[in-house]
Amino acid sequence: MRNRGGHAVVLGASMAGLLAARVLTEFYDRVTIVDRDELDDTAAPRHGVPQSRQPHVVLARCGQVVEELFPGVTDEMVGAGAHLWRSGDLGELYTRFSGHLVTRTGRLRDPEKLTLLHASRPFIESHVRRRVRALPAVTLVDRHDADALTWSADTVTGVRVTSRPEHRQYEIAADLVVDATGRGSRTPALLERMGFARPREDHLTVHVSYVSMPVRIPDGLLNEILFIDMPMAGRPYGWAMSRCENNDWQVLVGTLGIAPPAGEDEFYSYLRELMPAHAYAALLAGEPLADIALYKFPASRWRRYDKLTRMPCGLLVTGDAVASFNPIYGQGMTVAAVAAIALRECLRADGGELSRRFHRAAAKSIDIAWRTAVGSDLALPEVEGKRSLSMKMTTALLDRILLACETDPWMAQEFQMVTGMLAPPSRLVHPKVLRRVLAARGRQNLDADGVPATA
C-alpha cells in the first residue's frame, strides 16, 4: 500500500463524498470533509440532498462495496431496523420492466450474492457517516460552503470556504481535493476560471418527476418487500413501493415527460390504477407518515472529465458531480461506490496523472450505467433522442430476455446480476442465456442446465 501522507479534502458529505473519504484514509494522514449542511447522527432528510425524501434502492453491488469499506455495517443497519433481502425468494419481489412481470415463483440460485438492503436514504447515509466520522484521520466540517478552489500554476492547493453560522471565510490547504458536491458542482466553472477547458457534457432530457410518501403498513399484510413497475411505451408513468427501516414503506409514482400527480387525490388515483389489488389494499390500510414530496429530474447528465486532455493536478471529481442518471434505474449510489473502489486502485498503483487515471477508471462503470439508463429511456417513444441501430437491436433483445424472465427463475437471476451491477451487460448475450431466451419464445420448459425438457 502506498502512503502519500499529507491532507486530502473532500467537498460534500453525501454518499459519494463519504465513500471517497473512507478510501482516502488509506493513503493520506488527514482527510477533511466539508459540507454546507448541519450533520449530526440523526437519519433525517436534509436540504443539501433534496432527493433524500425519495425512495432509494441499494443495488447489490453498492451493498457489497459499502460492506467491504465498512465491515459489519450491514449488520449494524439490520440491527437498527433495516431489512436485508437474502432469501432469494422471488415471491417477495414484484418487478415489472417494459410490462414484463419477472417470475414470482422459485428462488435465486445464489441468494447471498444478490442481497438487497432496504432502508431510507437518510438512514443509510447516517450509518455510513457515523462510521466515517469514527475514523481517526477524518474531520467532518459541517455548515461550511465550499466557495472556490485555490491553485498555483497547474496545481490545486486547497479550497476556500465560508462558515455558515459566522460567515467567516478562510482557506483549507490540501494536497488533494475531491469534488463530491453533486449535480450542482461548480468545478466546470472553476476549471474555466483557472484557464482549463470545461468538460464536455453528454445529456438526455427525460423530465422525470417523483412523487412519494412514507407510509406505515401493518405487519402481515404484504409478503413482498419491493414493488417496481417501470414506465413503458405508451404508459409514461410507473410506481414503486419499497420496505424501509422499522417496517415503514415508501410509495412512489414516477412520471416521464408528463405532469406528475398534482396532489394526494391524484397520487392515489394513479396508484389505484397501477397497483395490484392486494398492494393497494395494504396501502389504504396503512398510515401516511408525511405529506407527498415532489422531486423533478430534468435530464441525465455526464460531464466527461475522462475526455479532458488537461486537468489541474490535485483535483478529482466523483459521484453525481460527474454523472447523474434517470433515478428510475437506481444506479447513482452504486456508481459512486464503484468510483470509490476505482480511486483506491488508482492510489495503490504508482504513477503520475492521478486525475486522468481516476476519471478514466471511473468512466468504465459510469459508461455501463449510462448506456443502461439512456438505452432504456430511448426505448420509450415518449423520450426524444437519436436511436442507433445497435440500440434498437438491444431494445429488441432485452424485450426477449424479459419475456424469458416472466417464467424462468434462472433468467431472473441473470437479469438481476446485471441490473444489480454485479455483472456486465455482456452476460445477457452468453449462449446459455440466449438458449433460454429462444426457448421462452417457443414456450418450452428447460431443465436447470438450460436444456429443453423435451429434448
Ligand X SMILES: Cc1cc2nc3c(=O)[nH]c(=O)nc-3n(C[C@H](O)[C@H](O)[C@H](O)COP(=O)(O)OP(=O)(O)OC[C@H]3O[C@@H](n4cnc5c(N)ncnc54)[C@H](O)[C@@H]3O)c2cc1C
Q: Interface residues with ligand X (CB under 6 A)?
A: 11-17, 34-37, 48-49, 51, 54, 56-57, 62, 145-146, 180-182, 184, 210, 295, 297, 319-321, 327, 330-334, 336
CB of 444 to ligand X, least distance (A): 36
DSSP string, 121-166: HHHHHHHHHHHHHTSTTEEEE-SEEEEEEEEETTEEEEEEEEETTT
Beta carbon nearer to ligand X, 183 or 436 = 183
Of 130 and 387, CB closest to ligand X: 130
Q: How far is the CB of 334 from ligand X (least distance, A)?
A: 5
CA distance 268 to 357: 49
Distance CA 156, CA 153 (A): 8
- Closest to ligand X by CB, 33 vs 439, is 33
Look up residue 28 and give its amino acid: Y
DSSP string spanning 221-282?
Answer: S-S-SEEEE--BTTB-EEEEEEE-GGGEEEEEEEEESSPPP-SHHHHHHHHHHHS-HHHHHH
**10 Å Cβ neighbour count for 128?**
23
C-beta of residue 90 within 8 angstroms of C-beta of residue 100: no
Smallest separation (angstroms) from ligand X to the CB of 354: 19
State which residue, 56 or 83, has the beta carbon closest to ligand X: 56
Residue 76 near residue 376 (C-beta atoms within 8 A): no
* Cα separation, 364 vs 76, whole angstroms: 31
Supply the minimum distance, in Å, between the C-beta of residue 77 and ligand X.
15
Q: How many CB atoms lie within 10 A of CB 284?
A: 12
Give how far the C-alpha of residue 431 lies from the chain's centroid of Cα atoms, to the nearest Å. 30
Q: For 320, which DSSP code?
A: G
Nearer to ligand X, 282 or 328 (CB): 328
Pick 391 or 422: Cβ nearer ligand X: 422
Which of residues 36 and 436 has its CB atom nearest to ligand X in the complex?
36
Contact 31, 25 (CB under 8 A): yes
CB of 125 to ligand X, least distance (A): 8
- Quote the least distance from Cβ 34 to ligand X, whole Å: 5
Give the shortest CB-252-to-ligand X separation in angstroms.
Answer: 9
Point out which residues pair with 227 in neighbouring strands: 94, 241
Nearer to ligand X among residue 33 and residue 383 (C-beta): 33
Give min distance, CB of 240 to ligand X, in A.
9
User: Phi and psi of 302, rounded to 5°?
Assistant: -130, 115
Distance CA 97, CA 285 (A): 27
Shortest Å distance, C-beta 448 to ligand X? 32
Q: Quick one: 71 or 184, whose CB is closer to ligand X?
A: 184
